[in-house]
Structure 1
Amino acid sequence: MSKKTRMKSSKPSPKNRKSPAAKPSAAKTARKTTGRRATASAKKPAAKAAKPAAKKAVRKPAKTRAKKPVQAAKTASTQASHKPTSKGLIKSNLSAPPKSAAGTGLAEGAIAPPFSLPRDGGGSVSLADYAGKKVVLFFYPRADTPGCTREAIDFTRLSSAFADAGAVVLGVSADTVKAQDSFRDKHELSVPLISDEQHEMLEAYGAWGEKSMYGRNFMGIIRTTVLIGTDGRIARVWRNVRVDGHADEVLAAVRAI
């Protein structure tokens, strides 16, 4: 065999020779595999991130649905609080007798409200006891106070003159019978003193209402005098009475009717 032939036969065949490109192809394959894994791993967080987003999307309508009934309830309660009073309630309020307030009460010519209440010294006194007579009712705030004392003394001083004119004089306050007894004894009063602790007569005659003193408003007795004629009707009403000279003015009115 010649040297040329030996050299040719010792050279590896191109077909049998391993391709150096095979290694890069394996690397590429590894890279592709690694890339796929990386892509897959990259996609997984996205998928996980998508799930919370989906949950949030689901929760939002749930929160909206939960808020609507609350808002509706609040709106309903607000509207209900501004609704006008039903006719039934208005009727029931109208049917109840209104309470007398300051400056209001019986008008002249109205029938005098009947009453029957305890008086000083025991027993009771009623309007029916003086049927056919003129009756003077003077309502005073409190027994044994300066203004009330002067007023009661003035009516006592003129009691005989009132009797001659065919009238009887009765004092009325919310004091107890015991307080009325002390008031009578201390100042030697001769006019009967009626005790109206429940304010029933005071309200009926418009002598109970809102008062003001030293910037403070309160409910109490308004100094009032009412003259009832022989026919049982209101002949004259004096409200917010000034004590000085008042008894004489009432006597003049009694003589005039």
Structure 2
Amino acid sequence: MSTRLQAGDPAPDFTLDDADGTPVSLADFRGRKVVVYFYPAASTPGCTKEACDFRDNLAELNEAGIDVLGVSPDKPAKLATFRDAEQLTFPLLSDPGREVLTAWGAFGEKKLYGKTVTGVIRSTFLVDEKGTIADAQYNVKATGHVAKLRRDWKV
């Protein structure tokens, strides 16, 4: 089981390829807040709902100084198809080796339909301007999650 991050922990740095194969680093966002959210698979119903919620709330998040990054184990080509189909306007990052997912505590044992399985744990983090975890949420629900974040963070 991977270690879970908490508010106050340093955000594990990473560089991952986006949907176009361009490297994106967490360090690129220093000086701004950034949501890093982890989801199991592009183009599945729950992940599509969550991504579209972030897309639909992106202007308000950006106005509050918050950028958004989505991370999944999908390869860049699948992420590009997902981005284009859903008109997503924030970076989707590829972690096929699951190293970043594991470092952030977003890969491990979870309950799925009453069974214990190993996989991506739907998780969302708010990283502050200095690269510190400001909020860590594990096992989040895909539906209604962004609205809850906006209420919690007063955005």
SS of the residue aligned with 1:149? Answer: helix
The match for 1:236 among 116, 132, 135 is 135
Q: Are residue 206 (structure 1) and residue 105 (structure 2) matched?
A: yes
SS of the residue aligned with 2:108? Answer: strand
Q: TM-score, normalised by structure 2?
A: 0.93
Deviations 1:2-58 (A, max 9, x none): xxxxxxxxxxxxxxxxxxxxxxxxxxxxxxxxxxxxxxxxxxxxxxxxxxxxxxxxx
Q: Are residue 140 (structure 1) and residue 43 (structure 2) matched?
A: no
The match for 2:95 among 185, 196, 199 is 196
SS of the residue aligned with 2:96? Answer: coil
How much has 1:230 moved relative to structure 2?
1.4
Deviations 1:171-211 (A, max 9, x none): 01000101101111111111210000011110111000112
Q: Distance in 1 between matches of 2:69 and 2:114?
A: 32
How much has 1:122 moved relative to structure 2?
2.5
Q: TM-score, normalised by structure 1?
A: 0.57
The match for 1:175 among 54, 74, 78 is 74
Read off the aligned partner of 1:169 and give its amino acid letter.
V
Please tell me whether Structure 1 or Structure 2 has the larger radius of gyration of its CA atoms. Answer: 1
Consecutive unaligned residues of structure 2, counting only runs of 5 or more, are none
How much has 1:107 moved relative to structure 2?
1.5
Q: Percent identity?
A: 45
Once superposed, what is the RMSD of the aligned Cα atoms?
Answer: 1.5
SS of the residue aligned with 1:112? Answer: coil
Q: Distance in 1 between matches of 2:118 and 2:25?
A: 25
Read off the aligned partner of 1:115 and give its amino acid letter.
F
Higher percent of residues as strand: 2
SS of the residue aligned with 1:168? Answer: strand
Residue matched to 2:26: 127
Deviations 1:47-87 (A, max 9, x none): xxxxxxxxxxxxxxxxxxxxxxxxxxxxxxxxxxxxxxxxx
How much has 1:215 moved relative to structure 2?
4.9
Q: Are residue 246 (structure 1) and residue 145 (structure 2) matched?
A: yes
Q: Distance in 2 between matches of 1:192 and 1:237?
A: 20
Consecutive unaligned residues of structure 1, counting only runs of 5 or more, are 1-98
Q: Distance in 2 between matches of 1:189 and 1:243?
A: 16
Q: Are residue 222 (structure 1) and residue 121 (structure 2) matched?
A: yes
Residue matched to 1:90: none
